[in-house]
Amino acid sequence: MSSKTLMLPARLVRHCLHKPRGVVCVDPVRLYYGSPKAATGSAVRTVDLRSDTVTKPGAFMRQAMAQAEVGDDVFGEDPTVNELQKIAADMFGMEAALYVPTGTMSNLIAVMVHCRERGDEMIVGDLSHIHVYEQGGSAQLAGVHSATVTTLGDGTFDLDQLISKIRHGYPDPHYPRSRLVCVENTHNIQGGRVLPLSFLQELRSVADKFGLAVHMDGARVMNAAVALAVQPSVILQHCHSVSVCLSKGLGAPVGTMLGGSKDFIQRAVRARKVLGGGMRQSGVLAAAGKIALSDMIGRLEEDHRNARRFAQALLKCDPSLYRVDLTTVESNILRFCLRDRQMSPAEFCERMAGVDEEEVKALGQGVRVLMFPHVGDTVRAVWHLDISKEDTQLAIQKAQFVADKLKSVRAA
């Protein structure tokens, strides 16, 4: 193998942004969805911790998709979709559910249904996925204004600040009308934090007092349920609607479930159609969603254990390159910092993804560990069903190798 380092995501991003080496100017929030896929090599083992969206359906799931009974879902005649929607509604403790192509569309539909007039307003956390990563679709497509509250480290926000953001002047023509508050559980940017049930209960009380609806971006709410050891309905009883992704840790190739009341879902069907989400024989996809909800939730605990195992190992690395707060490791997402300020998170991710002869000699094989530089000069790693305990151990060995190599470079 050549000693030349393989082509890497972070290096490519830096090249595309025309940033000289060593200059830390990359916005991690924008980088999150922007890194090109690195090249692969047959002699190299890859541990992909970029996101739980990279999961691939297994043989059993693919077989179910191939054998799915289908119909025209726009006519409400696809039996597999209808069954999936019933399963999801029962699991969520809600009256009805709707199968939607993506989480972004599902969240937008919820906003459109809850905020029925252009110029209505929703209140969201300033670090929420809806606010940061969904292209401002609520304003762009629905005509809904956003007011933000400060996202706290645990993914919650201050309820007094929320109350201060609620508009009370309607129908004064100068102001939008507050209609909706959105929460995210688990919280992506804050490292997979699980929202406390007490917070959700208090939030619902505030929302009821001021006539607001509560929507949960629950893309990873099943991770939250596993972390809290409760049924999803225990969490969702405090919400009017929820969006639950099937294609992250649950392993389906596509799809999100939107849950709510019967009236909410009837209106959601119309919004889905106008957004281009009405699919025909979509039971082929819904079959994977059924397996995701029936078979894949319990195994999320394994992802949580592997994430924590990796976090604990980082703290034991000698030299001490990594800083991790174990109290924040609650699910399958880990954020950690580098103690050596001369190495940026982007450069660290580049080193973790690169392979050279020295590493092969030291570890016995080349290991490419893919991660993302993230918000606040951190690195983000996400565990999922395609990452085993063995993969996690390889990632630990690579992290120790990078720390050792940095120490030798500094000594020289």
What would the pLDDT profile of 19-66 be if each residue is shown by its tens digit?
A: 333 333 334 444 444 443 444 444 789 999 999 999 999 999 999 999
* Per-residue pLDDT, 24: 32
Q: Is the pTM of this model over 0.95?
A: no
Which of the residue ranges 26-35, 57-66, 206-215, 287-296 would you say has the lowest mean pLDDT?
26-35
Could you report the per-residue pLDDT of 142-198, keeping only the tens digit for each?
A: 999 999 999 999 999 999 999 999 998 888 899 999 999 999 999 999 999 999 999
Q: What is the pLDDT of residue 33?
A: 42
Contact between residue 40 and residue 7 where contact means Cβ atoms under 8 Å apart: no
Residue scoring higher pLDDT (361 or 95): 95
Please state, in angstroms and rounded to a whole number, the distance separating the CA atoms of residues 308 and 328: 10
d(CA 38, CA 354): 10
Q: What pLDDT sits at residue 412?
A: 60
Nearest to 214 by CA among 134, 271, 137, 159: 159
Q: Which residues touch 12 (CB under 8 Å, ≥6 apart)?
A: 35, 36, 38
CB 132 within 8 A of CB 265: no
Instruction: Yes or no: say if 221 and 356 are a contact pair by the CB < 8 Å rule.
Output: no
Looking at the predicted structure, is the pLDDT value of residue 291 above 50? yes
Say what the pLDDT of residue 394 is. Answer: 96
- Residue 294 pLDDT > 90, yes or no? yes
Taking 50 as the threshold, does the pLDDT of residue 3 lie above it?
no
pLDDT at position 229 over 90 = yes
Q: Answer whether residue 206 shows pLDDT above 60.
A: yes
